[in-house]
Structure 1
Amino acid sequence: MAGRKIPEVYLDLLSQPCRAVHILLSHSKVPFTVRTVALRKGENKTPEFTRLNPMQKVPVLVDNGFVLTESVAILKYLVTKYSIPQHWYPSQAERRAKVLFPRMTGSAVDGVKLERALAELKETLDRLESMFLKRQPFLCGDDITLADLLAVCELMQPLGGDRDVLSDRPKLQQWRSRIQSALGESFDQSHSVLYKVRENFKSKL
């Protein structure tokens, strides 16, 4: 459409939900422009960004003047607006209801919070294995959905502190591998910043 602008996404790729949005856009070949907002530098608290999102959180989507400021809403909007394959967020009410959305923080790696989260993680991982992945390859069935995308970005986060929380869980490792295979290079591209944080962490040991 003439005069239509390419969507802009305001992201910090150290943030789990930001990576989820970035992966979906990249993998689906939707044209977009990234506006980096470095949370550690307080760029989310500038007057310019605060006017865009008074909650001072990322991600933010600006699509031809329309602004969305919550990760799950952004993902659902993108699937609907840009004809992204339906398996990501099925149109059928019953299947859509099964797509779970893990709680997103919109924050970068935080050592204290990370330790607390790791202490509470075992029960969640047990549930993923015993309930969601017991007889199916992805969390909601035979196809990858937004649930898998959001969950895997959450579970990749501890890599910033050089911790693979799936290292002793073969079933979840296989699930992660299936997601990586389905997403191709967009997965590693979106996690490249997190990988660098891991390398920096390891170099200081």
Structure 2
Amino acid sequence: MSGKPIDQEKVKDQKEKVTQMVADLESYFLKGKKFIGGDKISIADLLGVCELVQLYGCHEHGLYEKSPVVKAWVDNVKQETNPHFEESMVKINHIHSTFLTESGQK
């Protein structure tokens, strides 16, 4: 979006970090639980999901959707907070569409 060239090595490094974070989230924070704190949604869930769904904007949401546990957690947070969740996604959805349009990706 800035017009500057993309540092592919930095992108690769960040993808690896996200992949590790998703694995940690699955194996430690969500292990056997619907939400981070147990059976009820908390601010930890809202903050965590808000960070992850930003990846949707640049078509990298597959980094967390590969994990069925993390994907289910994101879906649970969406379900618990809708319609407000979808309202909060307007800008990210717009960025997602912009990247789609500019890059020609589908």
- Fold agreement, TM-score > 0.5: yes
> Which protein has the bigger strand share?
1
State the distance in 2 between where 1:122 and 1:171 align: 13
User: Who is 1:158 aligned against?
Assistant: 55
> Which protein has the bigger helix share?
2
User: Who is 2:95 aligned against?
Assistant: 197
1:158-194 CA-to-partner distances (Å, cap 9, x unmatched) read: 1111111222111111111110010011001011111
User: Who is 1:168 aligned against?
Assistant: 66
What is the aligned-residue identity percentage? Answer: 27
Query: Normalising to structure 1: TM-score of the pair?
Result: 0.43
State the distance in 1 between where 2:75 and 2:41 align: 12
RMSD, aligned CA? 1.7
Does the CA contact (< 8 Å) of 2:19 and 2:64 recur in 1?
Answer: no
State the distance in 2 between where 1:195 and 1:139 align: 25
User: Who is 2:24 aligned against?
Assistant: 127
Paired AA for residue 67 in structure 2? R
Moved over 4 A (4+): none
Paired AA for residue 184 in structure 1? N
Question: Which of 40, 46, 69 lines up with 1:149 in the alignment?
Answer: 46
User: Could you say what secondary structure the match of 1:204 adopts?
Assistant: helix
Cα distance, 1:122 vs structure 2: 1.7
Count of aligned residue pairs for this structure pair: 94
Q: Which has the larger radius of gyration?
A: 1
User: Could you say what secondary structure the match of 2:34 adopts?
Assistant: coil
Cα distance, 1:118 vs structure 2: 2.3
